[in-house]
Amino acid sequence: MIILRFGRKLKLPSTRFIKHQLLMMMLQDEILSSPSEKPFNAVKSPAIAKMRRLAAERPKTGAD
């Protein structure tokens, strides 16, 4: 992976940020695909469960 370009350091997105964005898109798809006559059930949503697990994870640091 290239982190330097013309002597300047590139800012790369973190893995947690990428996972969060993917889960947000997944959640939007779930909400849009749910029937309009039924309210969205957040308890049964796999995207919300995965987002809660991601939020509960301890961020990894290089000092460990």
62 inside domain: no
Predicted local confidence at residue 59, as pLDDT: 66
Predicted local confidence at residue 34, as pLDDT: 82
Domain hosting residue 20, numbered range: 11-56
For the CA atoms of 46, 20, 16, 4, the dihedral, rounded to the nearest 10 degrees, stands at: 140
32 inside domain: yes
64 inside domain: no
31 inside domain: yes
Q: Could you list the beta-strand ranges (E) of 1-64.
A: 4-5, 8-9
Angle (CA) 43 14 49, round 5°: 10
User: Number of folded domains in the chain?
Assistant: 1
6 inside domain: no
Residues of the chain predicted below pLDDT 70? 1-5, 7, 9-12, 59-64
